[in-house]
A and B are shown apart, each in its own frame.
Chain A
Amino acid sequence: MNLRFVTRKLLRALITLVLAVTFVFVILRAAGDPVLAMLPDDTSPEIVEQMRQAWGLDLPIWQQYLRYWQGALQGDLGTSIYEGRPAVDLVLERIPQTLLLTVPSFFFMLIVGVPAGIWAALRRNSGVDRVIMSISVSGYSLPNFFLGILLILVFSVQLRLLPSAGSGSAAHLVMPVLTLGTAGAGVIARFVRSSMLEVMNKHYVRAAIARGVPRHIVLTRIALPNAAIPVITIVGFMIGTLIAGSIVTETVFAWPGAGRLLLDAVSSRDLAVVQVGVMLIATSMIVTNFTVDMVYFLVDPRLRYGSGQGEGS
């Protein structure tokens, strides 16, 4: 890893961010007028016009766009047209709630997905493998809202064990985290399984077994690090689906997070809030990708020492 590599990554990240904001700006503006979305349908045209002027929406779109960047460069990312507060404040006050949901879901994904995948690979074609894989396929095939409501039906309505919606206690977290993490756990389990199976067939693993290296050493020192590389990529992707999935999960469980705020902001064309939300998502994806690249470096010696070495097959 060198300075040029990092600079290139950062520059690319910046361009991605500007492009994301620009796309959202153009698409949202083209797809609807925030004033009309906000005011009741029978509002008189004069009031609509006054509102539009008050928010600078009567200007040509390129002027609005320049104004936006002018403000953004001075640290003003705009005010929510709907709530009359700085968009950054609105989004930031929801972020802790979303993190409270997504971070445990992420760990749930890993803690359940990785061991399940390894176990299934080790017991290939056995009953255990089939059960794990069936659960994993069901897990990622179930739409979020379906699984969420199914859990509510079982744990809130029938068993009365957990609150049906809302936030505030650890009990409130259980069902949303299960809902959000299950699909990811399923995907990871499948990837870990197939990646492990592939690695277990490599010459160097078979050679190690033939040399009499203890089985747990083969598994943890040789097979797992090699199997991890494709899995890391998938884990990176799954963070993206966590963010997307949190919007649905937050809606089903009435969880007051940023996903729902963003969804409401899109439908009401609350541009400033959407922009901040998109910037945040774009940034988190960029950071995720960057982190994945870094983790490759740590895990894969071939990247550290140049390509072509250590080829095993």
Chain B
Amino acid sequence: MLTLTRRGFASMIGAGVGAASTLRFRSVYGQSRPEVVVAVQDLPPILAPGNDTSDVGVRITYNLFDKLIEPDFHQNMALRPGLAESWTINDDYTQIEFVLRDGVTFHNGDPMTAEDVAFTFSPERMEGEGPRRFNQYFSGIADSEVVDDRTVRITFAAPDPILEQRFSMWSGEIINRRAYQDAPDYESWGRAPVGTGPFRLASGVGPDRIVLEAFDDYFDGRPMVERITFVEVPEVAARIAGLAAGDYDIAVAIPPDQTGTVEGLGDAVIVGGPSAQIRMLVFNQGESADPIMRDVHFRRALTLAIDRQLIVETIFNDRTVVPAGAQLPTFGELYVDRETVTYDPERAISELAQSGYDGSDIFYPILPNYFVNEVSTAEILLEMWRAVGINVELAIQENWGQITRGRHSIRNLSATMLWQDPSVALWRLFKPSVIEGRGWAWNNDEFVQHGQVMEVNPDPEARRQAFARMADIWEIEDPVGAVLFEEVALYGIRDTLDWTPYSLPYMDFGPRNITS
């Protein structure tokens, strides 16, 4: 039977465009300060930092706001001073003192003061914001005080070994106190946010586009782009067609199987690759799972049966990699060079034999491509499991609630490396309180014991060792999940545009990323 998918259709565009590729596209850099049009799959309803940390939101807010400390994406995400010139952390990691940069101006003309910074992290803002992402990342703050005109001290209720990292990530954006307090409600603030970033909002948050314009008083240099327009184009085929037609300079979220189509356009290239997000499977052992999931041999068989490299080569066209567990090389001195689970169908079969598995179906609900290539990855996994004798029933659901609240033995999860520290995935997502909240019913005393190191001990060597053991327990000895591959983020861009994507979904159009 002939089936035509939208993606298949996008390939047809590529074929059709081959002939058109000799046509002239407008040069982005032909003018003194160009405008850039970005076709995105979705736009956020408001641009309040700390409200929404989805890809669609942070790619825009990154240009509007700055943080005290910034990860340098051109230097492997090493931390660099942002709005803070320097900072000191006390011995027990409960207090951080920031010396602020001089001469920083907000988009509304206000100079950035210590009051703005202290207010950003104040309990007052937290209470006002209600249950949002900001509170999740900064819930440990006990006090936020102005020491002098240029110094702010923030105190945490308990030691926090990742203090610096925390201020460099989502929700660490400094906001203008006056604009925030003058807004009649939170949504109004989010529709007219005021930050210090290289761009400011040119018009309101529209239903189909968000336009930013250069903020020439930006403390870190004059932006090289005059205007950025983010246009919502939900269909991938339409994004590629618009790139081909010269309507857009960048098309985001290009699926790996469409890279050839974009490159076939002649004057567009694919940039991007593995991102700082890791796709995992979770093996649920709670009441909503099939009883066999409680058997450790069965779970080992599940993970040993997966040929991760084959998934990367086939479904992802080699555009991504299999990481060494739930960590990334950008962790630097905290990175552990370790052996991970390797594809071993024979061992999988022998573990399965010890499990008492009766051949019944294991329930694996997924969403229709919430993650890149989610369905095809699940289908290939299904076959890999079938090859060793495990029967899995795949079910496509409509939303997360149906999966997390419904029956599920295996589920997908994507862990974002919010900070460059081994606690970011395994401990953040699998500590006992989270396991309990999600009903996964996995309990491993040794894992929890090492987790305490993650919780309180700032010593890098102690953290590395703790992670090495935790990772072995988590994915080899008593598996509660399986690491599959790094997520992939691909952009189709006009080849005259010198723009570098980052490993997180931020799209930086500021002077640090576009220099000429």
A residues whose Cβ falls under 8 Å from a Cβ of B = 31-33, 36-37, 40-47, 50-51, 54, 82-85, 93-94, 145-146, 148-149, 152-153, 156-158, 160, 163-167, 251-256, 260-261, 267, 269
Contacts and interface: CB of A to CB of B under 8 A. Distances in A.
B241 A156 contact: yes
26 contacts: A32-B402, A33-B401, A36-B399, A36-B400, A40-B53, A41-B413, A43-B133, A44-B136, A83-B187, A84-B46, A84-B185, A84-B187, A85-B187, A145-B6, A152-B238, A153-B16, A156-B241, A157-B16, A157-B17, A157-B244, A160-B23, A163-B247, A166-B208, A254-B232, A255-B208, A261-B207
A252 B235 contact: yes
B208 A33 contact: no
Nearest to B135: A47
For B13, B132, B399, the residue with the greatest tally of chain A CB atoms inside 10 Å of its CB is: B399
Interface string B384-425: 000000000000001111101100000001110000000000
Contacts of A160: 23, 245-246
Interface string B180-214: 00000111001000000000000000111100000
B9 A156 contact: no
Contact of B247 (A51, A148, A149, A164): A164
A153 B241 contact: yes
Nearest to B21: A157
Contacts of A251: 234-235
A252 B10 CA distance: 12
10 A-B pairs closest in CB distance: A45-B437, A256-B208, A84-B187, A36-B401, A50-B131, A33-B401, A256-B207, A156-B245, A83-B45, A32-B401
A31 B399 CA distance: 8
Nearest to A151: B241
B237 interface: yes
Given A44-B434, A254-B232, A158 B238 contact: no
A252 to B, nearest CB: 5
Contacts, number: 145
A267 B368 CA distance: 12
A166 B206 CA distance: 12
B124 to A, nearest CB: 18
Nearest to A85: B187
Interface in B140-169: none
A156 B242 contact: yes
Contact of A156 (B39, B247, B428): B247
Nearest to B130: A54
Contact of B405 (A33, A47, A85, A254): A33
B401 A37 contact: yes
Contacts of B132: 47
A32 B365 CA distance: 14
A167 B46 CA distance: 21
Contacts of A260: 234
Contacts of A94: 207
Contacts of B190: 84
Interface in B222-253: 231-235, 237-238, 241-242, 244-247
B19 interface: yes
Contacts of A157: 13, 16-17, 20, 241, 244-245
Contacts of A256: 206-208, 232
Nearest to A263: B234
B13 A149 contact: yes
Nearest to B37: A166
Contacts of A163: 245, 247
B185 to A, nearest CB: 7
Contact of A32 (B133, B246, B399, B433): B399
B399 to A, nearest CB: 4
Contacts of B429: 42
B9 to A, nearest CB: 5
Contacts of B242: 156, 164-165
A36 B367 CA distance: 14
B310 interface: no
B247 A165 contact: yes
Given A145-B6, A251-B235, A252-B237, 10 more contacts: A32-B402, A33-B405, A37-B400, A85-B187, A158-B16, A158-B20, A164-B238, A165-B231, A165-B241, A165-B247
A83 B237 CA distance: 28
B315 to A, nearest CB: 21
A153 B12 contact: yes
B206 A40 contact: no
B54 interface: yes
Contacts of A93: 207
A6 B231 CA distance: 46
B402 A254 contact: no
B247 A269 contact: no
